[in-house]
């Protein structure tokens, strides 16, 4: 039996790739046409692009750029930052089950969308993620500052290509992981590997060898080749660029194979949950308690939400544990975790009911009770993620002072209230019909998610920074006083969201949209 690939196979594969590229282009056009506020979306993209250019260029002319001690310090950590970008891209792609979908699973069934198209679509969607954008901006800005205007023409293309290559490589890892996860005992294999990697990383950090590992990363060659161009032309730089281009092409092409393998296997996690049985539990004594029970079930029986919260809670906690953050620094973390948690479903909270929203709305219960139950469930979900992060981070932070304990507790309460109020407001104002069964699903379209995540990240980080500062004040009651304006503002916003939900026409619009 012949095992070698014939020219016919190669030609067919090339034809498939060409077709997939054309299909991806069509799907992007289709998605672009479905954007509701196209003017606003266009302006947002233009701002994002302008900011990216500014971030990549302006720091090169900042004071001390390309020569000072600080610039040299940045230069030294740049290879680690480049490697870190790859790690975070992998975590993001793996957690989302192979990356975001260009076309939702339910919609895609009617169209001949091949796994190759799906793979290319996931690559296109990867940058529409605030974590990815911030990481990319950090790399570009740090590179520009480290080498200054002289090194910018060499380091900028090398960094840009690395960002693309790392994203494509992450996609390969994500599809491979998804293919394994969907195989026999795959979930346990993936969990075992993830735990082993996490334990290795933490133990390397605790033993002080993590820096050595980062120093040995091949990413330093990117930097060395660009730096060497400052002393005159050397072939190492063009060779590095060519190698990066080859890495991009190879990663994109290689990713097709695991994408096909994964598509042929059933998504076990999702199917297990869809066909799962849950024995009856005793009746509750209050209406809200029953509503809360159903809402909790909707969250914890969803693959993307469960997986997302684990990554969100454990990831920053593990990084904080490895980095040995102080209590004052830990105060910034709950806000980031709460923001991420809201992006799993909270920004479109009514989507939990899916097509059952119409039936639920026909039940004899005051809308206030439904709103209270959904807000409560969202709050406890965010609080759980944030508390896990704080507990992990606290393991090396030592015994907190009274002021630090109060500051951290106040941060938890304030950021959860802040995020719940904002998310419930958005949920009522801009509901979307989404199927949250797929591990790759997001509660809102990609561009909207970028906007939501940016606003949440900025507001909660600023809040975290305020309480980070308050943790340094010796008097414990100062943090308590500090919570008052934040809680007052969040209460106002939550009441506004509540008013919108209790307005019958507004509620009908939200219900019919999510049930569509």
Binding site for other proteins (CB under 8 A): 271, 273-280, 283-284, 287, 290-291, 293-294, 297-298, 301-302, 352-356, 358-366, 435-437, 504-505, 508-509, 511-512, 515-516
Smallest separation (angstroms) from other proteins to the CB of 444: 18
Smallest separation (angstroms) from other proteins to the CB of 226: 51
In 460-481, which positions are buried (b, 16+ CB within 10 angstroms) versus exposed (e)? bbebbebbbebbeeeebebbee
Smallest separation (angstroms) from other proteins to the CB of 350: 12
Compare residues 91 and 344 and give the one whose CB is closer to other proteins.
Answer: 344
Smallest separation (angstroms) from other proteins to the CB of 507: 9
Smallest separation (angstroms) from other proteins to the CB of 282: 9
Dihedral angle over CA of 123, 129, 131, 132, nearest 10: 30
Nearest to 407 by CA among 483, 462, 333: 483
Q: What is the DSSP letter of 37?
A: S
What is the distance, to the nearest Å, from the Cα of residue 156 to the centroid of all Cα atoms in its chain?
25
Compare residues 165 and 370 and give the one whose CB is closer to other proteins.
Answer: 370
Smallest separation (angstroms) from other proteins to the CB of 161: 42
Compare residues 278 and 399 and give the one whose CB is closer to other proteins.
Answer: 278
Compare residues 194 and 288 and give the one whose CB is closer to other proteins.
Answer: 288
Nearest to 485 by CA among 453, 454, 463: 463
Compare residues 260 and 430 and give the one whose CB is closer to other proteins.
Answer: 430
Cα(230)–Cα(70) distance, integer angstroms? 19
| Dihedral class, residue 326 (left if φ above 0, else alpha if ψ from -120 to 50, else beta) | beta
Cα(95)–Cα(85) distance, integer angstroms? 15
Nearest to 85 by CA among 46, 141, 47, 124: 141
CB neighbour list of residue 13: distance below 8 Å, 6 or more residues apart: none
Smallest separation (angstroms) from other proteins to the CB of 72: 54
> What DSSP string describes 326-386?
-HHHHTTHHHHHHHHHHTTTGGGGGGGGGGGHHHHHTSSS-HHHHHHHHHHHHHHHHHHHH
In 179-217, which positions are buried (b, 16+ CB within 10 angstroms) versus exposed (e)? bbbbeeebeeebeeebeeeeeebbebbeeeebeeebeee
Compare residues 96 and 298 and give the one whose CB is closer to other proteins.
Answer: 298
Smallest separation (angstroms) from other proteins to the CB of 396: 38
Compare residues 465 and 508 and give the one whose CB is closer to other proteins.
Answer: 508
Compare residues 232 and 279 and give the one whose CB is closer to other proteins.
Answer: 279
Decide: 423 and 349 in contact? Cβ < 8 Å. yes
Decide: 333 and 381 in contact? Cβ < 8 Å. no
Smallest separation (angstroms) from other proteins to the CB of 497: 19
Q: Three-class SS of residue 392?
A: helix
What is the distance, to the nearest Å, from the Cα of residue 145 to the centroid of all Cα atoms in its chain?
26
Compare residues 58 and 516 and give the one whose CB is closer to other proteins.
Answer: 516
Smallest separation (angstroms) from other proteins to the CB of 186: 20
Compare residues 119 and 507 and give the one whose CB is closer to other proteins.
Answer: 507
Compare residues 243 and 512 and give the one whose CB is closer to other proteins.
Answer: 512
Smallest separation (angstroms) from other proteins to the CB of 293: 8
Cα(503)–Cα(513) distance, integer angstroms? 16
Q: What is the DSSP letter of 391?
A: H
């Amino acid at each position: 039996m012949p095992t070698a690939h014939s020219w016919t196979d190669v030609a067919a594969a090339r034809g498939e790739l060409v077709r997939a590229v054309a299909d991806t282009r069509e799907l992007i056009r289709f998605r672009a046409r479905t954007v509701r506020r196209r003017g606003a979306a266009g302006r947002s993209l233009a701002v994002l692009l302008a900011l990216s250019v500014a971030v990549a260029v302006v720091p090169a002319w900042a004071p001390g750029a390309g020569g000072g001690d600080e610039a040299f310090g940045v230069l030294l950590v740049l290879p680690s930052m480049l490697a870190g970008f790859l790690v975070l891209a992998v975590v993001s792609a793996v957690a989302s089950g192979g990356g975001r979908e260009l076309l939702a699973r339910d919609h895609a069934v009617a169209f001949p969308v091949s796994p190759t198209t799906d793979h290319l679509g996931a690559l296109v969607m990867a940058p529409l993620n605030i974590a990815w954008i911030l990481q990319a901006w950090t790399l570009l800005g740090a590179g520009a500052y480290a080498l200054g205007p002289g090194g910018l023409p060499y380091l900028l293309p090398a960094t840009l290509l690395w960002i693309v290559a790392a994203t494509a490589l992450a996609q390969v890892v994500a599809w491979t992981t998804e293919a394994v996860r969907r195989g026999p005992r795959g979930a346990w294999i993936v969990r075992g590997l993830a735990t082993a990697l996490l334990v290795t990383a933490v133990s390397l950090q605790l033993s002080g060898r993590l820096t050595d590992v980062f120093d040995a990363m091949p990413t330093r060659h990117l930097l060395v080749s660009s730096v060497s161009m400052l002393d005159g032309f050397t072939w190492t730089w063009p060779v590095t660029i060519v190698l990066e281009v080859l890495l991009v092409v190879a990663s994109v092409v290689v990713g097709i194979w695991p994408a096909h393998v994964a598509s042929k296997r059933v998504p076990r996690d999702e199917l297990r949950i869809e066909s799962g049985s849950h024995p009856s539990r005793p009746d509750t004594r209050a209406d809200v308690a029953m509503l809360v029970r159903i809402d909790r079930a909707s969250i914890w029986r969803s693959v993307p939400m469960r997986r997302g919260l684990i990554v969100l809670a454990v990831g920053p906690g593990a990084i904080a544990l490895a980095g040995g953050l102080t209590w004052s620094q830990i105060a910034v973390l709950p806000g980031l975790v709460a923001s991420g948690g809201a992006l799993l479903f909270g920004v479109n909270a009514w989507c939990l009911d899916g097509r059952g929203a119409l039936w639920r709305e026909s039940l004899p219960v005051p809308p206030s009770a439904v709103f209270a139950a959904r807000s409560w469930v969202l709050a406890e979900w965010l609080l759980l993620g944030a508390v896990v992060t704080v507990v992990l981070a606290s393991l090396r932070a030592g015994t907190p002072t009274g002021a630090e304990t109060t500051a951290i507790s106040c941060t938890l309460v304030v950021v959860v209230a802040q995020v719940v109020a904002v998310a419930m407001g958005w949920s009522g104002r801009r509901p979307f019909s989404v199927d949250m069964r797929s591990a790759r699903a997001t509660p809102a379209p990609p561009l909207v998610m970028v906007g939501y995540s940016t606003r949440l990240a900025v507001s909660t980080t600023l809040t975290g920074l305020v309480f980070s500062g308050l943790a340094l004040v010796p008097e414990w009651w100062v943090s308590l006083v500090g919570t008052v304006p934040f809680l007052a503002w969040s209460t106002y916003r939550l009441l506004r969201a509540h008013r919108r939900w209790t307005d019958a026409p507004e509620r009908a619009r939200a219900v019919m949209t999510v049930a569509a």
